[in-house]
Amino acid sequence: MQIISKGLTFTYNREADFHRQALQGVDLTINEGDFFGIVGETGSGKSTFIQHLNGLIKVQGGSLWVGDFNLAPTDKQGKKQYKKMLKQLRHKVGMVFQYPEYQLFAETVFEDVAFGVKNFFPTLSDEEIEKRVAKAIDLVGLDYNKVKNKSPFELSGGQKRRAAIAGILVSEPEVLVLDEPVAGLDPVGKKRLMSLLHTLHDTGIVKTIVIVSHDMDEISENVNRVALFCGGRAVKVCTPKELFSQKDESSSRLGLPVTAYVSEKLNEVGVELSSDFKTENFIKDLVKKYKETV
């Protein structure tokens, strides 16, 4: 599913005197198959934008298409129809909020993960539900038989987050949107979670992944395209390489991934590297350069 946003605007508390315009016209296209990154300072509208993607926020101005879904409510469409569309949309676009473990509520991990399937497919048989839950729990790397009857509150922090993500994967979304998925995890947990996302993406279980992140290393390592949000607009949509090699005010406030920083310093002493800033390619390029000069 392709996501096309044109001139998307949004204002919080529109009628109150303390209203705040969070989106000032976002023009952005996310293609099917993208591993897409969204970066920007706090308050730049990233979270507001992604909440639009599965209809948690109603479109106020501009247009937003997610696949065949037109998210701007039209006059012809009744309220009931709109609600029905939202349900279909939400099952296709999974949303993982910041600290998703705070949404766990059920008595057992099984029940919690099953919540989404039961909501989206109320007619499924118990066996089918169990099959899907087991699959989702396996996908996130938890042991289904060990955790299914545990209380979600007994799990460790990293496990809780995985269980919460399983609760979203269980509805088999085509697009997965994650708001700072690794915030608060230890380095091992971070690495594991990112490799989980790559597995999902590479095997085509989830076609499109969108992550919001403040960690530039995470962006340069993982995404193929990135949008820079600033003041409620997507001011730049490009590859990480372009983002981190251009020098201007809006991107310099972001900071650089380690690889880009090292390249910059090498550049100052006359070593020109041409790779993108993925560690693997960066090292290859560096070694090649070294061999050439020696």
Binding site for other proteins (CB under 8 A): 13, 16, 51, 54, 56, 83, 87, 90-91, 94-95, 97, 100, 102-106, 115-116, 119-120, 153, 167-168, 171
Q: DSSP H helical segments within 43-171, as ranges?
A: 46-52, 79-92, 109-120, 126-139, 144-147, 157-169
Output phi, psi for 238, to 5 deg.
Answer: -160, -170
**The Cα angle at residue 101 between residues 97 and 107, in degrees rounded to 5:** 130
CA 234 to chain centre: 16
Asked if 122 contacts 103 with a C-beta cutoff of 8 angstroms, the reply is no
- Structure-derived torsion over alpha carbons of residues 231, 237, 240, 241, reported in degrees to the nearest 10: -120
Structure tokens at 239: 């590859």
What number of helices (H) and strands (E) belong to the chain?
A: 12, 10
Q: Which of 293, 294, 242 has the alpha carbon at shortest distance from 271?
A: 293
Q: Which of 224, 219, 226 has the alpha carbon at shortest distance from 259?
A: 219
Sheet holding 61-66, edge to edge: 20-30, 3-12, 61-66, 69-70
Length of the chain: 294
Structure tokens at 195: 């490799």
DSSP letters along 73-85, please?
Answer: PPSSS-HHHHHHH
> Which H helix or E strand runs over 218?
helix 216-222
Spatial distance between the Cα atoms of 88 and 187, rounded to a whole number of angstroms? 36
